[in-house]
Each structure stands twice: as C-alpha cells, then as structure tokens.
Amino acid sequence: MSSQISSSSPCRVLVVEDEPSIAENIDYCLRTEGFEVSIVGTGEEAIKTLALVAPGFVILDVGLPGISGFDVCREIRRHSSVPVLFLTAREDEIDRVVGLELGADDYVVKPFSPRELAARVRAILRRSAATSAPQETAKSASAGSLLAIDPETRRASWNGQSLTLARYEFGLAQVFAAHPGRVYTRDQLMDLVWDEPDASLDRTVDAHIKSLRSKLREAGAPEDLIVTHRGVGYSLKDDR
C-alpha cells in the first residue's frame, strides 16, 4: 500500500476556490462522481494542503485573494506533476493560461456546469494515467512508499504494520509520505506540522523525528527510512 493514490482508492481532488457557492457546487458534483474532495480558499492554504494530502488532481481558480492561481501553479510545478485545471473568469486570464508555460493541463471558463467540469477532470486523469503508469509501478517498490497514511481516519502503517503515532509524529509522517525523497528543512516541517511554529524550537522537530523513527523501526522499517540531510533537514527514503 502506498500513500499515493492507488488505482483502487478514489482520487482526491484539491479545489482552490474563494467563492463558497462555486466551491460547494464543485464539491457536491465531484463527490457524486466518486471523488474525494478537499477545498481551500487561498493559494497559501493550497500550498500547505498540497504537502499534507498529496491530491491526485488540482482545480485552481486564477483569481484568489493573496497569491494568484498562477503563482500557486508555479509553486506546485516546482515539486509535482499532479494534473492542474484552471478556473478562469476573464478573457485576459484565459490568454495567460494558454500563453504562459505554467504547466496547466486544461482550463474551464466561468460560469461552467459542474458536470462538464467533472467530465473534464476524468478525461485528464485518464490521459495522465496512461502516460505515468510505469513510473507509479516502480514507485511502489521503494521502502518509503510502504509508509501509508490515511488523513481521514488518522491511521498510519508501514508495510501493513500499523503504527501508533502521537499527533506530531503523525503530522511528520504525513508530510514525508506525501512526497517521498523530498528534503524538508526543520523550518518547513515546523510550518507544516506545528500549529504555533514560533513557540517551538528546531530540536522539537529532531525529538519527534527520533520518536517517529523508533516506532517505524519497531514496525520493521529500515534504520534509514527517514534520511538525515546534515545541515539541511530530513526526507523519506526514496530508493526507486
């Protein structure tokens, strides 16, 4: 079992939309079609959520309060090839979606029918499954990919052995499992996992990494499943 979306589990769609009525419509329609949905209203939340839930698809409104959908897309593309579909409201936004090399997979112009949107999501997922399937198969062989996290039930396991993790250990495991191989600095882990990062110290992260490692070892995971990058931070082993 991998923390990535396997072919049998429903695909999680991250919806980044600041207009609640539109977000609700999309949410309802995608759930009806069997998708799992996470909704956020700002780009900042989107970037944070992306690291936590590892969505299989992102629907991204261009016009957001704070950082724009374009900037969110650029940030996503620094780490991930997850399919991105833009929601645009204006002609000039369409020009930018099409004209700039943002790495978006498609766009839909407001107002749109949620069913049409869901159909577009399915079509893009079919396309990307066809091109990325061999890579996903290889990924399942990595030790890091055996770390499975379910954010809904807050259950964690390694290679089928369930782990009893305390709150911050679970948070750390969740961040690592979403992006095996990606190196996180202590500051990034603080921001992603702790509620009040300023009140905590770097060694707080180290202490929780230590306890998470010992629980993983008890479940039979290799010693170096969480890799220390001296002077930088930590990552989940990605030995593909």
CA distance 151 to 156: 9
| Identified binder of Ca ion from the candidate list 1, 33, 45, 63, rule CB under 5 A | 63
Quick one: 69 or 144, whose CB is closer to Ca ion? 69
Q: Does 68 bind Ca ion (CB under 5 A)?
A: no
Q: Does 93 bind Ca ion (CB under 5 A)?
A: no
Q: Does 44 bind Ca ion (CB under 5 A)?
A: no
| Identified binder of Ca ion from the candidate list 27, 36, 61, 105, rule CB under 5 A | 61
Quick one: 27 or 61, whose CB is closer to Ca ion? 61
Go through the chain and tell me how many residues it has: 240
Residues with Cβ within 8 Å of 165's Cβ and at least 6 positions away in sequence, in order, are: 156, 173, 212, 215
CA distance 125 to 64: 25
Residues with Cβ within 8 Å of 197's Cβ and at least 6 positions away in sequence, in order, are: 187, 190, 191
Residues numbered 12-41 forming contacts with Ca ion, rule: CB under 5 A: 18
CA distance 39 to 20: 10
CA distance 207 to 72: 32
Binding region for Ca ion (CB under 5 A) out of 47-55, 61-69, 129-137, 147-155: 61-69
Quick one: 40 or 175, whose CB is closer to Ca ion? 40
Q: Does 110 bind Ca ion (CB under 5 A)?
A: no
Summarize as ranges the residues that interact with Ca ion (CB under 5 A): 18, 61, 63
